[in-house]
Structure 1
Amino acid sequence: MMGRGGGLAGDPYRTATAMISGGQCDTALPILVCLARQGPGYEMALHDAGVCHGRQGDEDLQQDAWLRAASAGWGASQAALAQHYFDAGDMEAAAVWAGIYQRNLRERSLGLNRLQPAVLNAAARLDDESRAAVQGRVEQFRSYPLTAELTGPDCLRVIGRPDVSGPRPGGGRRGPGRSAGAAQAGGGA
């Protein structure tokens, strides 16, 4: 899959997701991490990096990736965190992320529902005081964009040079006439 100059042939994100589907998270992970470092618009890559971290048994890195993507408004990560906390028996944290997910306009506008009914109703298992605290945290939640990070030669070898105006995994595009460096310095799209 390597192209000339060390970059991946074709779309690095598509290549990474094919690797994940083929059980090659160890190979996909560096691609996903480098893509996520590009900042806004790469929340999906960060979420998938979390999936791979989990498959490799690193729950801390999984949660970190999902938390960062969820905080940037990525619904799949919000739902994944709600499920994770539900499975761990932390109904308050599960209820917070389920509530945040339920308010995700992108997910709602697409008609998506990634949560099982039990997770959606995690708040029902809480006492009145805890439910009120959860509701307050959900109402106070504000997403903030991923921060673009400087990448070095390792990422250049793995993903090549991203096309400045081409599609991004999260569906966004950089504005016309903006270089990748300007987009990173200015916080992305």
Structure 2
Amino acid sequence: MNIKSVSVLLLFFVFGISTAFAQIKDEREHRIKKSQFPENARLFLHQKLVNARRIRFYKEIDGSKVSYEAKFKKDRLRYSIEFNTDGKLEDIEIEIEPLDIPNDSYSKITKYLEQNFKKYRIKKIQQQYNVDDDNVDETLKNAFQNLMLPSIKYELIINGKNDKGYEQFEILFNAEGQFELIKKALPANYDHVLY
């Protein structure tokens, strides 16, 4: 091999590695103090949450996007409410079980998982209510009543086996069980643990 072909091969190798690393989204979530949560979001939660228990506050960094999440229990269900950095409500999620999804939708979801993974294990399913600026109170009411609406989405966190081995993914489906989005989820950030 001459110098020119080695240079071209090296260039493709470097380009291929940098492209592979660029596809990984660095998403991390860590717990924060209530005082670090956006003030508008704290006021919103204080006004709207009644009978909520175990309220915890989190900051999530997804690439360049930063958001804040409040997680709590209400009426024996686990909720999370996500806000942007300005304290504007983005979505409300409820942790659910597979039995809570209509059979037709769930069969489409499992069909997608079976076609795209050699093996998979569902770790968590969340029913998601996206917030419309005009109907924040209506969306909140629908979420707290756990209504099955055509606008809801299902977010699954799974451990899936593909050619690279087991990896964790977040997959979004619409109310009918149609695939919408997939992204690789990184494991929880344990930087705070001292050994």
Q: TM-score range by the shorter chain?
A: under 0.3
Greater relative CO, 1 or 2 (CA 8 Å, sep 6+): 1
Give TM-score, length-normalised by structure 2.
0.22
From the two aligned structures, give the one with the greater helix fraction: 1
Which structure has the larger Rg?
A: 2
